[in-house]
Structure 1
Amino acid sequence: MQMTKLGRTDIEVSKFCLGSMTWGTQNTTAEGHAQIECALDAGINFVDTAEMYPVNPLSAETQGRTEEVIGDWFAATGRRNDMVLATKHSGEGITYVRDGGPITAASIPQAIDGSLARLKTDYIDLYQFHWPNRGSYMFRKNWLYDPSAQDRAETIQNIEDCLGALQIEVDRGRIRAFGMSNDSAWGLTQWANAAERVGGPRIATVQNEYSLMCRMADTDVAEACHNEDIGMLSFSPLATGLLTGKYQGGAVPDGSRLSLSPELGGRKTPRAFEAVAAYLGVAEKHGLDPVHMAMAFVRDRPFMASAIFGATTMAQLTHIIAGADLVLSEAVMADIDTAHRAHPMPY
């Protein structure tokens, strides 16, 4: 398993990261624990979660259950130090999490209190903000994205205040590193610049969607990551299952994400299936498993720290792990480039 360090920290993680957002709805506690142990046995030491998980569906009744699944595993096994654990502070808009309030210096210790209690641990390795207060163009909001209503002074002040609160948590030993999620190149540079200006933990990572089907990060975010030593963590590297090919021809497998989310968060479009067909063709031409090809492509992007994947079955998990050593040839990359140029923004 390839390993790397997060940003300028000394935290070493596997370049595959186990996502957990289905534990507590689509997956039982026992299944979540089995996935953790299978991943650790394969050399994956990195697990990502969030205080708002599980999903499918999100609800007030289940909020926090995923962290509890992980906490129960820590309590049962005593293996906290075997895992690099990332979780997230929800932002504005989730009404049942701190009444839907924004991320502030005051909300940070409250959110960490809750996560630590559910996780049954006294520290979090990577603490992330799930989305910036000013909003985000992720999740198909890019089509109508308009930042003109943002208040720059308010954003900068909030960043500085939050860095102060985060530094207190670092000093207390409750978090080791800080990262953003669903942020832009401008946002990343503001976090990096503010840490140099006023102190606080320097941003180490950004968790944004990235896959063969969603490559918005290739330009500005990639440049920010390179120049500011920020490692990208990709979510949905298999495009919510589209790149497996299992939804081609109108198929909707029982229990699949498509069966629970009929539009796949705006990803289900005719152009998406055309793009999938092109990438499946590349994999077939070169004798590759399409899942392994998609994961290897994301993992080896020069700005990528780790590719976060989820699995609802043990068979899916072991299948992904089986391709962990694949490195794509120049010929495969050339054909991927051709497919990307033909299908640049399929959803």
Structure 2
Amino acid sequence: MDYRQLGRTDLNVSALCLGTMTWGEQNTEAEAFAQIERAKGAGINFIDTAEMYPVPPRPETYASTEKIIGNWFKSRGDRADWILASKIAGPGNGISHIRDGELRHNRKHIVQALDASLKRLQTDWIDLYQLHWPERSTNFFGKLGYQHSQDQLITPLEETLEVLGEQVKAGKIRHVGLSNETPWGTMKFLQLAESRGWPRPVSIQNPYNLLNRSFEVGLAEIAIREQCGLLAYSPLAFGMLSGKFEDGARPANARLTLFSRFSRYSNPQSVAATSRYVALAREHGLDPSQMALAFVTQQPFVTSNIIGATSLQQLEANLGSFDLKLSDEVLAGIEAIHQGQPNPAP
């Protein structure tokens, strides 16, 4: 396993990060434990979760993912072996069951959310605490066509950073990260942090995969120049790039089979592009999932690639992507497909 510096910190995280958002919904605690054990054995030291998980979010399963991770730490006593990341939810997104749905990145909500996460995770600190999505109305979760809301009441970014700084000083969190953020938001957070002495964001967790390379347009340069690297989520586009949904197939218990809300990568353009990527992989004797994951991991602006699985078999295949070095011919094929159908999914 390769290890990469997290921002400008003294932490080195594994190039693959263990994603957890199915734990407590599609995966039992025992299955989650098996995934953690296998990932650790492969050299992964980085695990990412969120107060909102598992997905889809619903009151009956709320926060069970963090509880599962906390139970692992308690039973194994290996908290110090892990770089742990979690997130505070933002407003909207149909989650009225979290803090009565009035979710803000203000003092009250940050302290409440963080303390609750620490309790569930059974730990005294979180290494990377991320704002799951912006409080303001902007382009994230596949939204296109920016529409400005001049009168929207939002927590000043200054207040958010100030409170996070207090939590760092208190030892509850070590570093701060962004998620589903825009170029403007990322640079504004960085500028405020540097000018006011507040915690400087060390990472940004946004979607990035063969069907959605929009991160390359406005954020890749920021990630490299500002050392605020990408933690890539959805590297397989909800499993589409694995090829298991080819020709309209819907395997039992797959996320796209179970939950209609995950349609972001299922539009006709994405389906057509996916078929071309899957065919390219098979033409070169590659596993489609591993080709897609290897492409993400090797990007210079990526700090860590967040892999998730609902079975040990899937996890094993995902882990195997790290050892795959894509040839110039394969990379040229990927670029040809991308040029013909750039970013078919937002």
Same fold by TM (over 0.5)?
yes
Matched residue of 1:305: which SS? strand
Amino acid paired to 1:281: A
Residue-by-residue CA offset, 1:29-72 (whole Å, 9 max, x unaligned): 111111011000001111110001111x3111211100000000
Q: Do the aligned partners of residues 72 and 107 (structure 1) sit closer, same or farther apart at CA in structure 2, a change above 3 Å counting?
A: same
The 2-side partners of 1:42 and 1:216 are apart by 30
Superposed, which structure 2 residues align to 1:154-173 within 5 Å? 158-173=156-171
Matched residue of 2:175: which SS? strand
2:310 aligned with 1:312: yes
Residue-by-residue CA offset, 1:209-254 (whole Å, 9 max, x unaligned): 1000111101111122122110101110001000000001111000
Residue correspondences, number: 342
The 2-side partners of 1:7 and 1:228 are apart by 8
1:227 is aligned, of 225, 229, 246, to 225
The 2-side partners of 1:197 and 1:265 are apart by 41
Superposed, which structure 2 residues align to 1:298-309 within 5 Å? 298-309=296-307
The 1-side partners of 2:120 and 2:292 are apart by 33
- 2:124 counterpart residue number: 122
CA displacement at 1:150 relative to structure 2: 4.4
Matched residue of 1:61: which SS? helix
The 1-side partners of 2:226 and 2:29 are apart by 38
- 2:84 counterpart residue number: 85
Amino acid paired to 2:25: T
TM (norm. structure 2) is 0.95
Superposed, which structure 2 residues align to 1:85-104 within 5 Å? 85-93=84-92, 94-100=95-101, 101-104=103-106
CA displacement at 1:309 relative to structure 2: 1.4
2:176 is aligned, of 175, 178, 184, to 178
TM (norm. structure 1) is 0.95
CA displacement at 1:263 relative to structure 2: 5.6
Residue-by-residue CA offset, 1:164-220 (whole Å, 9 max, x unaligned): 111111111110110010000110000100011111110001101100011110111
- 1:217 counterpart residue number: 215
CA displacement at 1:317 relative to structure 2: 0.5
- 1:25 counterpart residue number: 25
- 1:199 counterpart residue number: 197
CA displacement at 1:313 relative to structure 2: 0.6
The 2-side partners of 1:140 and 1:295 are apart by 20
Amino acid paired to 1:72: N
Amino acid paired to 2:247: G
The 2-side partners of 1:290 and 1:111 are apart by 38
Q: Equivalent pairs: percent with the same residue? A: 46
Superposed, which structure 2 residues align to 1:26-65 within 5 Å? 26-55=26-55, 57-65=56-64
- 1:132 counterpart residue number: 134
Matched residue of 1:106: which SS? helix
Unaligned runs of 5+ in 1: none
